[in-house]
Amino acid sequence: MQLHHRELGEGNPLVILHGLFGTSDNWQTLAKRWAETHRVIVVDLRNHGRSPQTAEHSYELMSQDVLALFDQLQLQHVTLLGHSMGGKVAMRFALDHPARLDRVVILDIAPRLSDMQHQDDILAGLHAVDLASVQSRQQADEALAQHIPQVGVRQFLLKNLYRREDNSFAWRPNLAALTTHMPAIGAEITGPTPFLKPALFVRGGKSNYVTTEDKLYGIPALFPNSQVETIVDAGHWLHAEEPDQIYTLVEAFATS
């Protein structure tokens, strides 16, 4: 599995993993800012973006994919950053391969089991778009809106819609695999040995993905050398809602 990725800048590596239904494209603006001080690698995880599509989708496999990328690029002294699903990949990788990292940054996700029922409407909306007949992004948006009232969420999802060479539309994510493996995407991250190096967890004050119990018990159990920061006015997509605060927090942590 060779993951699609892009590189910017020079210095110690900062590897960025997007969340469910995201792509490396979502991180280009922040990546350019961090590239002033780091070698930034933005990654498309399997079944997303321009990376290969497979029938299987699990954190064990995605951790192996990231390890192959680290070997391919000969990465050392890495800061690994992940948001949501990408955050769980980063946690899995940190527990599996602690020697390959200097530190880890996790955005708005905890290691515990996640109830993925909140994704039902998103999946219904994506499957409601008739790719064989849709003629415009506006038509696709109207189909999504039957299940997803939030304009911002629809705009985020529509970034995954692209035109093929025959001018028909297609989704970049592998919807069949992601739908099948949605319970696995919510799986708890565990490990026999904690990750002892520095870890920064950042949660959105308007999000419920990281609870007080996670902060006090779940996160320290696996990441004892961790700190949890809250961006008060941000929701789950905190890097899109408050990019300046995310830039500052990550830059300070990655250069400490």
- Residue at 230: amino acid letter: T
Contact of 36 with 102, CB cutoff 8 Å: no
Coil, helix or strand for 198?
Answer: coil
The DSSP 8-state label assigned to residue 86 in this structure reads H
User: Which of 51, 84, 114, 226 does the annotation list as catalytic?
Assistant: 84
Looking at residue 218, its pLDDT comes to 96
* pLDDT tens profile 208-221: 999 999 999 999 99
User: Which of 5, 38, 236, 239 does the annotation list as catalytic?
Assistant: 236
Looking at residue 256, its pLDDT comes to 85
- pLDDT tens string for the chain (256 positions)? 899 999 999 999 999 999 999 999 999 999 999 999 999 999 999 999 999 999 999 999 999 999 999 999 999 999 999 999 999 999 999 999 999 999 999 999 999 999 888 899 999 999 999 999 999 999 999 999 999 999 999 999 999 999 999 999 999 999 999 999 999 999 999 999 999 999 999 999 999 999 999 999 999 999 999 999 999 999 999 999 999 999 999 999 999 8
Can you read off the two tokens belonging to residue 133? Answer: 């007949």
Other residues' Cβ atoms within 10 Å of the Cβ of residue 151: 11
Contact of 93 with 149, CB cutoff 8 Å: no
User: What residues have CB less than 8 Å from 187, skipping those under 6 apart?
Assistant: 58, 59, 88, 113, 114
Looking at residue 234, its pLDDT comes to 95
Can you read off the two tokens belonging to residue 165? Answer: 């060479």
84 belongs to the catalytic site:
yes
Looking at residue 130, its pLDDT comes to 95
Looking at residue 113, its pLDDT comes to 95
Domains parsed from the chain with CATH numbers: 5-113+187-255 (3.40.50.1820), 117-181 (no CATH)
Other residues' Cβ atoms within 10 Å of the Cβ of residue 42: 26
